[in-house]
Amino acid sequence: MRTATFALLLTLGATLGLPAQAAAPVPRPTKEFTVTTPQGQQILLSSLKGKVAVVQFLFTWCPHCQAFSQMLTQLNMEYGPRGFQALGVAFDDDDGKMPLKDKVIGYTKQYAGFPVGFSNRSTVLSYLGISELERIGVPQIVVIDRKGVIRDQSPSQGGGPLADPTHLKPLIESLLAEGGPAKGPAKPKDHGKPAQKTGDKKTSE
């Protein structure tokens, strides 16, 4: 009962008041994507090839994102030894109060037991296949198989069935059962560059 209630609140909370939009087509090969860590290092999605990955695109202030990260932390602990990797990408708007990298540090300590970095809104929406003219909801969830193919993705309203652990867990298990070599944990690469800044455009939940 608690699981069903959690999933319902998470899904409804992320989509309330947003118009229905067509989801990006799946399956499709994942494009390369770079996640910048608070330390200025970079994690490439291509480094996760060989693993089953769930990538959560989030706003650090969003309670639905926070709840999903806590659930995803448990899945990362449960399935990590079998070749699973969770990854978070924050793309908050710049509020002029606190650098996003500092928000990510606080978010990770409180809600996420897996790597969380950040990117900017335009780059995230391009990766997700969502127009910048659309209003979006979070969390945006992407499930990638061992071959680097996106097998499922949230609708533009955010959440959806993937926010429900009773849907997400069987999907992860089925993809893990497909086999394939599993690489080690995602390792950030330090290119000696400062962390990138987010854009000034606003997003709507």
Q: DSSP labels for 118-165? A: E--HHHHHHHHT--TTS---S-EEEEE-TTSEEEEE--TTS-GGGGSH
Separation between Cα atoms, residue 112 and residue 69, nearest integer Å:
5
Per-residue pLDDT tens digits for 16-46? 344 445 567 999 999 999 999 999 999 999 9
Query: Residue 83 contacts by C-beta under 8 Å, 6 or more apart in sequence?
Result: 50, 51, 52, 146, 176, 180, 182
- DSSP tag of 166: H
Q: Which two tokens stand for residue 171?
A: 């999907």
Using an 8 Å Cβ cutoff, are 152 and 171 in contact? yes
Supply the pTM of this predicted model: 0.79
pLDDT by residue for the chain (205 residues), tens only, comes to 444 444 444 443 444 344 445 567 999 999 999 999 999 999 999 999 999 999 999 999 999 999 999 999 999 999 999 999 999 999 999 988 999 999 999 999 999 999 999 999 999 999 999 999 999 999 999 999 999 999 999 999 999 999 999 999 999 999 999 976 555 555 565 544 444 443 344 344 4
- In the chain the domains, ranked by start, together with CATH numbers, are 2-112+120-177 (3.40.30.10)
Residues in the chain: 205
Phi, psi of 138 (to 5 degrees): -130, 155
